[in-house]
Structure 1
């Protein structure tokens, strides 16, 4: 919002709030006066009624000559007398006198009337309504209170209702002692109705007048304040704002002059702004030269560079870092370097001493936009000051993917060399003794068939010997695999053939097998025997991971120029720190495994120009995905 709008809003709100409070107080005071007038009128009427009642009570009631239409009060013990002249005198007790005066006031006045009300009424006309009942209850609990009143709408008209208590006096006991009253008891009260229609009209007219006066006063006062402030403050500030916008647009040749008859403070402000403009012009020239040198060094660096502020937020980066992460500059600026790396894999190459050293040297993984991880070597340099009191941190990042691949390839070649030598030794050194052991064990089994102790240990010996044979055969297969014989095969048929071999085992363990294939691209060039080895190894691994009960899902789909087969289980999963080792020879998570199954699978996939990927989480299951080239011939 512009300053002018803010000032208008501030003036309007201020005057509105202040004047609204004043007018609200005046309106409330006027309403209170109306209410006080009605209360005083009710009190006068109540006191008049009370005076008449006292007069009648002091005389024990009044006998009046019965006229035409005069009713006898049936609730009195002596409701009438007959004189010697044979005239009938009707007794008028205080309650009846009160009611008859009230009825007369209705006829003569119309907008003011009253009557008696009591919870222990004898005359049904004295039965209290809701307001009167509430008032009587109020006086029962608040004996020090003398009146109870409120505004109430009755028959679409507004009335002021007033109720005052009547307490039993000594003169009242003549008639009311039989009802159980004692002197001082609350016997009832006088209920007064006064029409408030005229008062309501006057109050509404006053509200309208006050509201109109309020709005008119707010408008006039706000305009006077606004025009005064605009001339003295807003206009000079608008001139300075325009000058600041010129500076922002890098236009420094513009007129800057204080308005005529400006105050001393405004004049000094304009002079200070003019000096500031000249200083900015000189500083910008120097900053541009420094920035060009600084950016040239950053952009031309062969390594990825990130620069952070004291809070660790990236404020600058070069193109090399953007290329590594494969993200636009806007996605990186404003983040922390810690958001771009895997903090759990940091490996320090030199011991960091934060309190003494300004350089940290470590390896970790850089996380790309697609969540892929890149191994990097990072030099983190602290306490660099490009300008005084503005500390920054430099991060130099070196891509280690090529180095890691070479190291992994070298390690794998060493393993293969050692394994080849070991397998050759095993072929010569172990097979003949194993053959002799097997023959002798069979011989002993025949000779000692009746020996109970031998028969107890024979199955364990036979199982151990078979396990040794299995390991030796797996090692020799891994070290000297046969060359694949490629022909056109249907992967779905190979999978179904393998499932026939393992299905009984899975069903016995209550493991459900589900197949889901999309498309018709599953015909590829491959060695069927080796493909059977791949799937059998993966199925057995899934079986071992799930123990009893589980779900094995086999799915396939076509993607671009590849055929993908997935094998998913919901077993024990693989811990993140073990993922990188599962294809190493002799590494296994299972006690009964040789540790060569996945190594053989990977080797066969490499021979087929295919890839195998794994996705797993501890206690959540594992998914192996086999990715084959589609309709490509193998170069041998």
Structure 2
């Protein structure tokens, strides 16, 4: 009887360890996939900035009658129909003045971030710095912690999981292009200095100036794990359990015969 009891507890222990291993492995895979998704988003955000940098920013045509938000552009350019290429102007625009506004790479990235924030996408991103200009770009508690940890550990990324979300941050390193606006107020363009006379300056080339912050849904659970694992996996687990039970019964029978 004691041997049967030991055998039973051995089976229970093996099954418990198997379940814990499956759960831990599933959670690790899910976490790695979520981090990979966040990294992909950060890659795209970086590439958008690099693309815009090759043009020194972008001149965007302003929609007729649209009020521009404060800090949404660096400069304004007025083009009259006589100067503009007539082939690019519709008949309704021929007698109007056309206004363009300049966006640097960071403003382009922020505008895409704002657009994404209003969309149905469950994955969001933003760019922030602890030396921000526009108060809308002020870092959250997580982002402040991320910048501190990245600098302290000399790492490139940081993430946490809480409240059903994976929050990911990737370091942004200041380049020479950043210094045009973020060196000192005296060196910044007048249009920037007029908007932000004393905040958002002090970047240093080669040092972390901010982060790309990405938020990804994180809803891992045992039920989701069971749904995601394939039929072949569960057949393999069932076969393993049957094998363990068979070996246990065989061993018990041998002891009884002895």
TM-score by length of 2: 0.73
Please give the secondary structure, in 2, of the residue aligned with 1:175: helix
Q: Distance in 2 between matches of 1:222 and 1:55?
A: 59
* 1-structure distance, mates of 2:9, 2:66: 68
**Structure 2 equivalent of residue 102 of structure 1:** 113
Following TM superposition, by how much is the alpha carbon of 1:165 offset from its aligned partner in structure 2, in angstroms? Answer: 0.9
Q: CA deviation at 1:64?
A: 0.4
1:135 aligned onto 2:146 = yes
Output the CA distance in 2 between the equivalents of 1:128 and 1:115.
Answer: 10
Tell me if 1:159 matches 2:159. no
Query: Is the contact made by 1:147 and 1:163 (CA closer than 8 Å) also made in structure 2?
Result: yes
8 Å CA contact retained: 1:60, 1:174: no
Decide which structure has greater strand share. 1
Q: Which runs of 5+ in 1 are unaligned?
A: 235-261, 267-636
Confirm or deny: 8 A CA contact 1:72 1:79 kept in the other structure.
no
Q: How many residues align?
A: 222
**Structure 2 counterpart of 1:190:** 212
Structure 2 regions of 5+ residues with no counterpart?
Answer: 82-96, 185-200
Which residue, 5, 11, 36 being the options, matches 2:7? 11
Structure 2 counterparts to residues 346-365 of structure 1, below 5 A: none
Question: What residue number does 1:43 align with?
Answer: 39
Matched, 1:148 2:153: no
The CA deviation at 1:49 is 0.7
> For residues 85-119 of structure 1, what are the alpha-carbon distances to aligned partners after superposition, in whole Å with 9 as ceiling and x for unaligned?
43221222222211221232344452111111211
In structure 2, the residue matched to 1:74 is 71
Once the two structures are superposed, the pairs formed by residues 36-435 of structure 1 within 5 Å of their partners are 36-67=32-63, 69=66, 71-74=68-71, 78-85=74-81, 86-143=97-154, 145-153=155-163, 158-178=164-184, 179-197=201-219, 199-200=220-221, 202-203=224-225, 205=227, 224-225=246-247, 227-234=249-256, 266=258
Runs (4+) of structure 1 exceeding 4 A deviation are 204-207, 213-218, 220-223
* Counterparts of 1:181 and 1:231, CA distance in 2: 76
The Cα offsets for residues 427-468 of structure 1, whole Å up to 9 and x where unpaired, read as xxxxxxxxxxxxxxxxxxxxxxxxxxxxxxxxxxxxxxxxxx
Alpha carbons 1:49, 1:98 under 8 Å: kept: yes
Taking the aligned partners of 1:74 and 1:223, their CA distance within structure 2 comes to 70
Q: In structure 1, how many angstroms separate the alpha carbons of the residues matched to 2:5 and 2:169?
A: 49
Instruction: Tell me the secondary structure at the aligned position of residue 183 of structure 2.
Output: helix
Deviations 1:579-607 (A, max 9, x none): xxxxxxxxxxxxxxxxxxxxxxxxxxxxx
Distance 1:221 1:186, change over 3 A: same
- CA deviations 1:208-230 (Å, max 9, x no partner) are x999x979976x56754554345
Can you list the C-alpha shifts for 1:490-534, whole angstroms capped at 9, x where unaligned?
xxxxxxxxxxxxxxxxxxxxxxxxxxxxxxxxxxxxxxxxxxxxx
Secondary structure of 1:36's match?
helix
Distance 1:194 1:176 in 2: 30
Give the C-alpha shift of residue 232 in structure 1.
3.0
How far the C-alpha of 1:231 sits from its partner, in A, is 3.6
With CA pairs under 8 Å and 6+ residues apart, which has the higher RCO, 1 or 2?
A: 2
Separation in 2, partners of 1:226, 1:41: 44
Distance, in Å, in 1 between the alignment partners of 2:13 and 2:173 is 49
TM normalised by structure 1 equals: 0.32
Q: Please provide the CA RMSD for this pair.
A: 3.1
Superposed CA deviations along residues 160-181 of structure 1, whole A, max 9, x for unmatched, are 2111011101111111112121
SS of match in other structure, 2:127: strand
